[in-house]
Amino acid sequence: MKILLSAYACEPWRGSEPDVGFQTMLTLAAEHQVWVLTRSNNLASLQSYLETDDRSANITLVGIDLGPTALRLKRWGTLGQLWYYDRWQKLAGSRGVEMSKQVDFDVAYHITFAAYWMRAGIAVVDLPLILGPIGGGVDPPLPLVTELGWRGMLEDLIRVPGRRLVALLPAVRLGPKRASLIFVNNAQTRARVEHLTEAPVEILPNPTAVKVPGDLGPRNPNRQIFFVARLVAWKGAALAIRAMRYVRTPDAQLVLNGEGPDRSRLERLIQRWGLTHKVILAGQVERQDLLRALGSAGVLVHPALHEEGGNAVAEALAMEVPAVCLKWGGPSVTTTLFPSVPSVAVDVSTPERTARAIAHALDSMLDVQRPRTGVTQKATLDYQNTILDAVTKVGGRATGSVPPLSE
């Protein structure tokens, strides 16, 4: 089949969203011809990689971007990035319409930074449409909103109602309305999406699209507790630091990998609680170096307050590194896809009770030294098979060659 794939983020080994787009592209190209609409600045790394991949014969890259003025506006923080993404999606829709006049596509597929409250540009193309996995439906749990800090709480006071209002715009509603199938990251987002569409809505966490190195060798875990995320309030680094007040394992250290605007607040918390000897701010680390270091960590902690998927959780579990997260949003769903690797999803309560529960879980993980038995990619294989099956069914349903998707 011929697939029009819209992947705003699509680069090899550049982090979560770019890798989701990249791996999805490769998966589809294993069995189909794929035309990839992506940002122009992704082309160089994609072309370099595809020079050594047999699937390149099935991939046509189409880079698009807005002009210099729009690119400058994109640098104006979150609002600038959201505005640019919406304009890029509109441009992708126009380019997709033009391309469909030249290529007899069977399916359109929209992925990366996909959310129920954002425009899916290629929804304007007259093709069977697959969306997702999409997110955007997870709100922070009320008992833990103070962990966001005043700045984070103000942002969420705007973000939560703002997303619901934007989701009502006609250009945004068009995607769910025209979709033949929608994948979502978790049950909370599914609840938001189901009333917007008549299409089947299935849970498929996009973190399972991401691959990790397969040559890690024996696992000799240390006493480090890894946190891997941008340092923004909702990722939960403050809660991880709070939990370190109660971790009893000797020599245990929390290593915060990432940079972001919440760093100064986290530094103040570390000083206030006297944890300078137990918490390390490692900053931004190159992805390949980070994955190798993560593979030797004793445990990953990811107490995000409104995470849609949790790529770091999937990466850790794929390397058989135990994980601790909240029983909230996407990470707790992701842990269920790696049943052979220990993980704990902590119930949400007050900040102190939740922190103590996280600390107890971390101690239990560090207490048992588990050797690596062999890197597992079963969850990734399941993801690949699911989207390949979906493309076949949606494309076939349009021509009447296969039965329709079950509702």
- Tell me, what's the pLDDT at 78? 81
Average pLDDT for residues 185-205, to the nearest whole number? 94
Strand 201-203 relative to strand 179-184: parallel, antiparallel, unpaired?
parallel
First to last CA, the chain: 23
Strands (E), 271-349: 279-283, 299-302, 323-326, 343-346
Structure tokens at 36: 């990839």
Residue 13: pLDDT above 80? Answer: no
Question: pTM for the complete prediction?
Answer: 0.90
Q: Which pLDDT score is estimated for 46? A: 96
The model's pLDDT over 61-78, given as tens digits with 9 standing for 90+, comes to 999 999 998 888 888 878
The pLDDT assigned to 219 comes to 63
Provide the pLDDT for residue 77: 79
Tell me the C-alpha distance between 142 and 154, whole Å.
Answer: 14
DSSP 6-46: EESS--TTS-HHHHHHHHHHHHHHTTSEEEEEEEGGGHHHH
Mean pLDDT, all residues of the chain: 91
Q: What is the mean pLDDT of residues 193-217?
A: 84
Identify the sign of the CA torsion 360, 366, 371, 376: positive
Q: Would you tell me how many other CB atoms lie within 10 Å of the CB of residue 273?
A: 14
Q: What is the pLDDT of residues 154-168, one digit of tens each?
A: 999 999 999 999 999
Other beta carbons less than 10 A from residue 165's beta carbon: 9
Note whether 106 and 89 are within 8 A (CB).
no
Residue among 55, 201, 109 at smallest CA distance from 391: 109
pLDDT category at 401 given cuts 50, 70, 90 is: very low
Residue 211 has a pLDDT of 75
Using alpha carbons, list the distances in angstroms from residue 54 to 31, 32, 50, 203.
Answer: 12, 13, 8, 31
Nearest to 301 by CA among 319, 316, 281: 316
Beta pairing, strands 59-64 & 107-111: unpaired
The residue type at 56? S
**pLDDT of res. 402:** 37
Region 194-198: mean pLDDT is 94
At residue 136, does pLDDT exceed 70?
yes
- Selected residue with higher pLDDT from 401 and 290: 290
Q: pLDDT exceeding 90 applies to what percent of the chain? A: 75
Question: What confidence tens digit (pLDDT) does each residue in 308-331 have?
Answer: 988 899 989 988 899 999 999 999
* pLDDT tens track for 255-290: 999 999 999 999 999 999 999 999 999 999 888 888
Residue 297 CB burial class (10 angstroms; 0-12, 13-18, ≥19):
buried
**Tokens 């011809």, residue?**
33
